[in-house]
A and B are shown apart, each in its own frame.
Chain A
């Protein structure tokens, strides 16, 4: 009797350290910040304010602007990055290519560079002045220096370019694993039936890689919705808040304006939005496979 209890308990005992940490650093803060989202913090004390934090957020033009910015970045960022990753994965999966390991490593390397260093690097590359490498190049080919940091659209473009540069290799590896799981026989059969490369891509590759593709898209959408470091370090949310993302808004609200209640409420709105989007994506993936 005693022995069987310990036998049953063993796996949970092994899990216990993780579960404890998970509870202390994830579950508890999640519930606590949910409670804080209905409170305000003043003079060292929290007091209940009902829904007023949520009401403030929904009426704040800056919060709307940040949602808009995040959505615009997302709409460009995700398709560009996933599309590029898929193309690269297909090329690297090809039979003809030599030195695959080398190219894979090259494309994967940016992910190993830490976010802060590469963000600072990009802010230097896209400097407004002629001293910025990109502007120097644009001047050389006759386009002239562009006001990267003073134009909302250009500043958003920097964020999309930077994030794509860093994450495309990561997504490529994920998609490559999906591509390698597609049976070669399918391609051979299609060749015998006279299908060309394009047809094979749309009728075999895409359906074959679909679940992995959806997984990559969900990761990318969630990642972009939580974008913070790049806009914080490259553009500092500027020009005129045109690149301020939702998470940067929450950071400013909590750590610069000391408004923990509104920041927590915003975090919950974001969590609900991410949850809904993920659910929708999973629905789409299930229906089509």
Chain B
């Protein structure tokens, strides 16, 4: 008898606990955000602060995914189990719109319309869908700069202010290589990476599409980009990176690179992986393709999107606005090396902090000065284009004919697009 009443008591209390739990869930609006890598830590901290706000519209929970969207894509394709809010890379925004259809996402017009001018143009423009609405909010941008080691340049008698064109840069690189054995640039040449190519192509404001919407890779800007890469490579100043990301870190930490043109978000990796080189690096403007030419470029960056299946859209919109468009949200973005795309925050005092790693230089302030790079439309088919860009770089560096290579790859990309 005793046992029976004990069992009954347990059952009752468990049922009561379950009821309370489900009541609590109903009372409190909750959304799940899927993020990956270091940005996941960033959004976690933002969520923690947001969840503590009095005027919050609910609770934000962060789930960790991976950069290649392995958990996101199947859910999007099936329409089931899509996270409420998720992160995508900037180059994929057009592909997501086309592949899954904009009706899969929530329009962000209510927080973005009228605010366009406040965002970096190169980030906000690609987020505008064909129907005139926004379905992705720019998060981190990737303004590019030249990272260099002042001591090495001084040792070689090179004044960094004279590196105004890529031609001058290559000449300086030859001197550095000869005197110190250190490389003056680094990129992948075996067809498995194309970051640097995309950086230079954006600097030239190149487009991957022709006016009729088909892919066209044989353009003057592409020729210029590839000629520069070939020239650098032939000059012997390029550190080859067969496994681009890992080898770049390895080359940096072993001290074999004296200068690296690359994006702002690389500072976080440098500070973490090459901590012992603190104080040895500085940033300056990218050289231009011709005197007085454009020195800005944007590489990478990301967006947040809301799934149409999200039941708490008001909360999701409020959280996006808080994390991307407020001074506090962007302070956290900056803290994690995610350079904000929202320009009104550039005047905040946290941008003025001197960086110990960069020898006391106000690097974040510097990034704000070069934030407005040209707009490159990665368009609906960039996921198809990118593997070809990697191959093109590899083929051109090893001496292939430029027109033939570019025409062949243009044809191949358009053939796969025809099946879509």
Q: Looking at the complex, which one of B104, B240, B418, B419 makes contact with A128 (CB distance below 8 Å)?
A: B240
**B190 pairs with A150, CB closer than 8 A:** yes
Given the interface pairs A49-B419, A262-B419, the reply to whether A44 lies near B242 with Cβ below 8 Å is no
**A43 pairs with B99, CB closer than 8 A:** yes
**Nearest A residue to B242, CB-CB:** A149
Residues of A within 8 A of B (CB): 40-45, 49, 52-53, 56, 59-62, 123, 127-129, 131, 148-150, 235-241, 252, 255-262
**Nearest B residue to A265, CB-CB:** B419
**A240 pairs with B395, CB closer than 8 A:** yes
B415 within 8 A of A: yes
**A44 pairs with B103, CB closer than 8 A:** yes
Q: Determine the chain A residues whose CB is within 8 A of the CB of B189 once the complex forms.
A: 150
CA distance A239 to B104 in the complex (A): 37
Q: Determine the chain A residues whose CB is within 8 A of the CB of B98 once the complex forms.
A: 42-43
Seed contacts A40-B419, A129-B250; 6 additional CB < 8 Å A-B pairs: A60-B416, A239-B242, A240-B191, A240-B395, A241-B191, A257-B387
CA distance A238 to B191 in the complex (A): 6
**A150 pairs with B240, CB closer than 8 A:** yes
**A131 pairs with B420, CB closer than 8 A:** no
Q: Determine the chain B residues whose CB is within 8 A of the CB of A131 once the complex forms.
A: 250, 254
Which 7 residue pairs across A and B have the least CB separation, nearest first? Answer: A43-B101, A149-B242, A239-B190, A240-B191, A238-B192, A44-B101, A238-B190
CA distance A256 to B70 in the complex (A): 10
B391 within 8 A of A: yes
Q: How far is the CB of A53 from chain B (nearest CB, A)?
A: 6
**A240 pairs with B391, CB closer than 8 A:** yes
**B190 pairs with A240, CB closer than 8 A:** yes
Residues of B within 8 A of A (CB): 68-70, 73, 77, 79, 95, 98-104, 189-192, 240, 242-243, 247, 250, 254, 383-384, 387, 391, 394-395, 412, 415-416, 418-420
Q: How far is the CB of A170 from chain B (nearest CB, A)?
A: 27
**A236 pairs with B243, CB closer than 8 A:** yes
Given the interface pairs A149-B242, A239-B394, the reply to whether A62 lies near B419 with Cβ below 8 Å is no
Q: How far is the CB of B352 from chain A (nearest CB, A)?
A: 40
Residue from B69, B102, B383 having most chain A Cβ neighbours under 10 A: B383
Q: Looking at the complex, which one of B99, B104, B250 makes contact with A258 (CB distance below 8 Å)?
A: B99
**Nearest A residue to B383, CB-CB:** A257
Q: Determine the chain A residues whose CB is within 8 A of the CB of B243 once the complex forms.
A: 123, 149, 236
**A241 pairs with B383, CB closer than 8 A:** no
**A240 pairs with B394, CB closer than 8 A:** yes
**B419 pairs with A257, CB closer than 8 A:** no
Q: Determine the chain B residues whose CB is within 8 A of the CB of A41 once the complex forms.
A: 77, 99
Q: How far is the CB of A60 from chain B (nearest CB, A)?
A: 7
**Nearest B residue to A239, CB-CB:** B190
Q: Determine the chain B residues whose CB is within 8 A of the CB of A42 once the complex forms.
A: 98-99, 101, 420
Q: Determine the chain A residues whose CB is within 8 A of the CB of B102 once the complex forms.
A: 43
5 A–B contacts, CB within 8 A, in A order: A42-B420, A43-B101, A150-B190, A150-B242, A255-B68
